[in-house]
């Protein structure tokens, strides 16, 4: 099984789109998307310096455009999973068929402008807390009145909030941890971004999303989202909600992903995956930074992607846990059985009681992804339901 990953803010580098201009149609596409985003993507991706592309209003649409440009040259019909980090979720949503490319670019432009405006309201920032015990790090972040904005896996949690509180955290780091201040405009993915979330919530109803055509993971909880309208709501909410990339990586492992392509500008997410999954088995990874990397990416898809077929396509929906606890399949339900939309397929037993797990659509229970009494976390895949599409 193969996944494509769309990177987020901080992965950009000066001139990183220059090599892509050699491909037919790239320049015209960037000019069109620039009109939609309200920024000059062609200039930003080729001639702008590091300071200019650090601007949130410019960076966000630039990154979404880069991911979509790179993906255009891949056989995406053989890719099973899409995920993105922060603003990269917009690219992933487009690659999964939830949003047209133009809508993703326009929404990224609006998102960048509104988040930049929210950053200007008061001095806030972010700092990476590297190392230390996870529970102690989270407790220290809370004690300083900060927010865990990004949880990027073992040994990396990003704190965000007021500048003076970040300085105190840096001066009093948790045990066996170090704090590195990040060069960003403000406290992304925290309540400080509420004005931006409100602005996007006013725009989003004008978009008509489709249900995803492949497994699409959400930063909110690592869950596989099956409904396009729900994903659009999650994209809006994610402006103030923490990025749970740790849970997305856990879902990649649970799904049995064996190959990963990180889209341009690549490298950051590949590094996180390698560190997080080194004990359970790191998938084969290709970082797609220039057109020279396309042959390796296409080869990876050929070996790890779905085999092309003239038979009716099978759409798989992954049912995931909404809470932490232990999984109990529905009594008498077995692989191969037909299930109806809304049918209870099991429950997650929590300390507060049982939470029912239902099928989002009708189909065949093709595979249990969790065994009875397995401990599960929010977003943990529980079952795969498939059905033929004409």
Residue 4 · residue 89 · CB < 8 Å: no
CB 274 within 8 A of CB 282: yes
- 343 - beta bridge partners? none
What ranges make up the beta strands (E) of the chain? 2-6, 81-84, 124-131, 147-151, 156-162, 177-182, 215-216, 259-262, 284-287, 313-320, 325-329, 338-339, 344-350, 353-358, 363-368, 375-376, 381-389
- The helix (run of H) or strand (run of E) holding residue 304 is helix 294-304
Q: How far is CA 70 from CA 36, 255, 283, in A?
A: 19, 24, 20
Question: How far is residue 243's CA from residue 330's CA, in Å, rounded to a whole number?
Answer: 32
Cβ 26 vs Cβ 45: under 8 Å: no
Catalytic residue among 11, 86, 213, 218: 86
Is there a catalytic annotation at residue 218? no
User: Which of helix, strand or coil describes residue 73?
Assistant: coil
Q: Over the range 190-203, which residues count as b (16 or more CB within 10 Å of their CB) and which as e? A: bebbeebbebbeee
Q: Is 86 a catalytic residue?
A: yes
How many Å apart are CA 74 and CA 95, to the nearest integer?
Answer: 11
Q: Are 161 and 145 in contact (CB under 8 A)?
A: yes
User: Among 142, 145, 149, 147, which Cα is nearest to 238's?
Assistant: 149
Total length of the chain: 390
Question: Dihedrals φ, ψ of 287, to 5°?
Answer: -95, 120
On the 0-12 / 13-18 / 19+ scale of CB atoms within 10 A, 387 is middle
Three-class DSSP category at 269: helix
Give me the catalytic one of 144, 147, 189, 380: 189
Distance CA 235, CA 88 (A): 10
- Whether the link from the prior residue into 265 is cis, omega within 30° of 0, is yes
Is the separation of the CB atoms in 265 and 66 below 8 Å? yes
Active site residue ranges: 86, 189
């Amino acid at each position: 099984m193969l996944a494509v990953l769309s990177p987020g803010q901080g992965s950009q580098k000066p001139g990183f789109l220059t090599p892509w201009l050699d491909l037919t149609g790239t320049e015209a596409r960037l000019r069109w998307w620039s009109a939609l985003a309200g920024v000059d993507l062609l200039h930003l991706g080729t001639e702008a310096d590091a300071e200019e592309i650090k601007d949130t209003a410019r960076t966000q649409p630039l990154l979404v455009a880069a991911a979509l440009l790179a993906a255009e040259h891949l056989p995406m019909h053989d890719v099973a999973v899409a995920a993105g980090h922060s603003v990269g979720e917009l690219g992933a949503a487009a690659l999964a068929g939830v949003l047209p490319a133009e809508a993703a670019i326009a929404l990224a432009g609006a998102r960048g402008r509104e988040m930049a405006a929210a950053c200007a309201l008061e001095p806030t920032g972010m700092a990476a807390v590297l190392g230390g015990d996870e529970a102690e790090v989270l407790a220290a972040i809370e004690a300083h009145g900060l927010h865990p904005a990004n949880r990027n896996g073992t040994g990396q949690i990003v704190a965000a909030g007021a500048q003076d509180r970040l300085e105190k955290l840096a001066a009093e780091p948790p045990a066996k941890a170090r704090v590195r201040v990040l060069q960003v405009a403000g406290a992304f993915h925290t309540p400080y971004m509420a004005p931006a979330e409100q602005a996007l919530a006013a725009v989003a109803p004008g978009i008509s999303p489709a249900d995803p055509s492949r497994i699409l993971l959400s930063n909110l909880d690592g869950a596989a989202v099956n409904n396009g309208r729900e994903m659009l709501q999650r994209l809006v909410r994610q402006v103030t909600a923490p990025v749970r990339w740790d849970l997305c990586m856990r879902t990649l492992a649970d799904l049995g992903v064996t190959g990963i392509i990180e889209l341009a500008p690549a490298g950051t997410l590949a590094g996180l995956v390698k560190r997080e999954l080194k004990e359970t088995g790191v998938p084969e990874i290709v970082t797609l930074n220039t057109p020279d990397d396309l042959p390796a990416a296409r080869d990876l898809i050929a070996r790890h992607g779905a085999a092309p077929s003239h038979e009716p396509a099978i759409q798989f929906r992954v049912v995931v846990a909404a809470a932490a606890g232990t999984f109990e399949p529905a009594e008498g339900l077995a692989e191969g059985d037909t299930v109806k939309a809304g049918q209870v397929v099991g429950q997650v037993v929590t300390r507060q009681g049982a939470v029912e797990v239902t099928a989002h659509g009708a189909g065949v229970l093709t595979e249990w992804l969790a065994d009875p009494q397995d401990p599960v976390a929010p977003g943990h895949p529980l079952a795969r339901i498939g059905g033929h599409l004409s």
